[in-house]
A and B are shown apart, each in its own frame.
Chain A
Amino acid sequence: MADRDVARPLSRFMDHQGIAPDRLSATYPAGGGGELIEGEATNVDAHPPGDYVGEVVESSTAEALAQARELNCAPSFGRFVMIESAVPAVGIVFNVATQSVEPNRRPAAYGKTERELRLEQPQIFELLRTHFHILIVGHLDGGAPVPVLPPHPAPIHCFVYECDDTLVRACTEDDEFLRNIINTSGLPADQLLIATLRNALQVRGDSREYLVTMGKALSRLLQEDYDRLRSVIRRIAPGR
Chain B
Amino acid sequence: MLDLYSVKGQIDHMMAEQVDRPRQAQLIMEASLAQLERWSEDWQALADKIDRSSTCWLLPVIGEEGLRQSYPLPVRPQRVTIASTDGSQIFPDRHEISPCYLINIGYILLHYGTGEQPLMSSRPSLFHRDQDLFRGRGRRGAVSRELVGIRRSLLELTELAELAAAAHDEGYPTVALADGSLIMWTLEGKPRGFRQEFLESMLSAFETLRRRRVPVAGYLSRPGAQDLTNALRLGLCPLEAADCDHCPWMAEPSARTQDTPSQSVDRAEEDLPCGAIDGVGDAAVLRRILQPGGRSAVFESSARILAEYGPHSICFFYVHVGEEIARVEVPKWVAEDPPLLDLVHAVVCDQADKGQGYPVSLSEAHEKAVVRGADRESFYRYLREAFVRHDIDARVSSKSRRKRHAAV
User: What is A's interface to B at a CB cutoff of 8 Å?
Assistant: 8-10, 12-15, 18, 102, 105, 115, 118-123, 125-126
Q: Given the complex, which residues of B lie within 8 Å of A102, measured CB to CB?
A: 367
The answer to whether B165 touches A119 (Cβ under 8 A) is no
User: What is B's interface to A at a CB cutoff of 8 Å?
Assistant: 107-123, 162-163, 165-167, 169-170, 354, 360-361, 364, 367
The answer to whether A9 touches B170 (Cβ under 8 A) is yes
Q: Is the interface of B mostly helix, strand, loop or mixed?
A: mixed
Residue ID in chain A nearest B85 by CB atoms:
A13
Q: With A and B bound together, what is the CA distance between A118 and B114 in angstroms? A: 8
The answer to whether B110 touches A122 (Cβ under 8 A) is yes
The answer to whether B114 touches A10 (Cβ under 8 A) is no
Give the shortest distance, in Å, between B166 (CB) and chain A (any CB): 4
Q: Is the interface of A mostly helix, strand, loop or mixed?
A: helix
The answer to whether B367 touches A9 (Cβ under 8 A) is no
Q: Given the complex, which residues of A lie within 8 Å of B120, measured CB to CB?
A: 123, 126
The answer to whether A122 touches B121 (Cβ under 8 A) is no
Q: With A and B bound together, what is the CA distance between A13 and B172 in angstroms? A: 15
Q: With A and B bound together, what is the CA distance between A184 and B108 in angstroms? A: 45
Give the shortest distance, in Å, between A205 (CB) and chain B (any CB): 39
Give the shortest distance, in Å, between B80 (CB) and chain A (any CB): 11
The answer to whether B115 touches A118 (Cβ under 8 A) is yes
Q: Given the complex, which residues of B lie within 8 Å of A122, measured CB to CB?
A: 110-112, 115-118
* Given A10-B166, A126-B120; A119-B107 close (CB under 8 Å): no
11 further A-B pairs in the complex, CB-CB below 8 A; given A10-B170, A105-B367, A119-B113: A12-B162, A13-B119, A13-B121, A13-B163, A15-B121, A18-B121, A115-B115, A119-B112, A123-B120, A125-B117, A126-B120
Q: Given the complex, which residues of B lie within 8 Å of A126, measured CB to CB?
A: 117-118, 120
* Among A10, A102, A126: residue with most chain B CB under 10 A: A10
Q: Given the complex, which residues of B lie within 8 Å of A118, measured CB to CB?
A: 115
Q: With A and B bound together, what is the CA distance between A14 and B122 in angstroms? A: 8
* Among A12, A13, A102, A105: residue with most chain B CB under 10 A: A13
Residue ID in chain A nearest B353 by CB atoms:
A120
The answer to whether A10 touches B112 (Cβ under 8 A) is no
Give the shortest distance, in Å, between A112 (CB) and chain B (any CB): 11
The answer to whether A13 touches B118 (Cβ under 8 A) is no
Q: With A and B bound together, what is the CA distance between A176 and B110 in angstroms? A: 50
Q: Given the complex, which residues of A lie within 8 Å of B167, measured CB to CB?
A: 9-10
The answer to whether A8 touches B170 (Cβ under 8 A) is yes
The answer to whether B109 touches A9 (Cβ under 8 A) is no
Q: Given the complex, which residues of B lie within 8 Å of A120, measured CB to CB?
A: 112-113, 354
**Can you list 29 pairs linking A and B with CB atoms under 8 Å apart?**
A9-B165, A9-B166, A9-B167, A10-B119, A10-B166, A10-B170, A12-B162, A13-B119, A13-B163, A14-B119, A14-B121, A15-B121, A105-B367, A119-B114, A119-B115, A121-B354, A121-B360, A122-B110, A122-B111, A122-B112, A122-B118, A123-B108, A123-B110, A123-B118, A123-B361, A125-B117, A126-B117, A126-B118, A126-B120
Q: With A and B bound together, what is the CA distance between A125 and B109 in angstroms? A: 14
Q: Given the complex, which residues of B lie within 8 Å of A123, measured CB to CB?
A: 108, 110, 118, 120, 360-361, 364
Q: With A and B bound together, what is the CA distance between A8 and B167 in angstroms? A: 9
Q: With A and B bound together, what is the CA distance between A19 and B119 in angstroms? A: 12
Q: Given the complex, which residues of B lie within 8 Å of A119, measured CB to CB?
A: 112-115
* Among B111, B113, B115, B364: residue with most chain A CB under 10 A: B115
